Structure 1
Amino acid sequence: MRYVVLIAYEPGAWEAADEAGRQEYFDAHHAFEQFVDEHGRRLESAALSDADLATTVRHREDGTAVVSDGPFVELVEQVGGYYDVELPDLDTAIAAAKLLPRSYTVEVRPTVRIEGYESR
């Protein structure tokens, strides 16, 4: 099964962490990666810039697109990164997610194939 693991965090937590705290983040990510490598495979991963650098595209009912900077609401947490992984089942994906830093909120979401649609 393919899963996307979304990582949410409180803005400023990384900047506020001391060297030992940052090493704990690194160690947890390495533990997650090693677990996934042993039970499946990592397809892709990336850290994301903060939400204040986001650009949002919304469509109006008349079909025009409105482009704006940043999010519309003040967020306590924001998505800060993701892993795209293949693992045998949801229980294994949850076990992997539990290895990530405890300060994160982690969402594990299976991907779906949409019949008739092929990415180009």
Structure 2
Amino acid sequence: MKYMLLIYGNENAWTEGERERCYAESIELTKQLHAKGQYLGASPLHLVSTATSVRVRDGKKLITDGPFAETREQLGGYFLIEATDLDEAINIAGRIPGARVGTVEIRPVMELDGLPPGGEPPQSH
């Protein structure tokens, strides 16, 4: 089963050096997951100050700078993994460096028929 591991934390909780070590540790975790066939994707996000939110109401697009919600913890990145069950996903989430200073939310991914496969866009001929 696929799980999305959403990493939340205070983006100001890390020094630049700590952030770089977090990235290095996360890359190592992705390599370990890849070797076991569990890695589907992962990436940190730019700071919340770069966010843009879009809402459509009454057919009109409403665009605002900033995140969807003002909170003390922001979505900072994600892992998309393959795990046999929730217990295995919890084990992997506990290895994510952001879990030590923030929260990792685990959500099962719904599989919908008709969605194109992920990955590279189709090649034009």
Q: In the superposition, relative to structure 1, how do residues 39 and 93 fare at CA in structure 2: closer, same or farther (>3 Å)?
A: farther
Deviation at 1:29, TM superposition (A): 2.4
Deviation at 1:42, TM superposition (A): 0.6
- 2:108 pairs with 1:114: no
Residue pairs, 1:89-104, within 5 angstroms: 89-101=85-97, 102-104=100-102
Size of the aligned set, in residue pairs, is: 115
- Using the alignment, how far apart are the partners of 1:33 and 1:84 within structure 2? 10
For 1:77-103, what per-residue CA distance to the aligned partner results, in whole angstroms no more than 9, with x for missing partners? 000000111111110000111112211
Give me the TM-score of the superposition, normalised by structure 1: 0.78
- Using the alignment, how far apart are the partners of 1:44 and 1:32 within structure 2? 12
Aligned to 2:70: 74
RMSD in angstroms over aligned alpha carbons? 2.4
Could you tell me which runs of 5 or more consecutive residues in structure 1 were left unpaired when the two chains were aligned: none
Give me the TM-score of the superposition, normalised by structure 2: 0.75
Could you tell me which runs of 5 or more consecutive residues in structure 2 were left unpaired when the two chains were aligned: 118-125
- Percentage of matched positions with identical amino acids: 36
- Using the alignment, how far apart are the partners of 2:3 and 2:68 within structure 1? 28
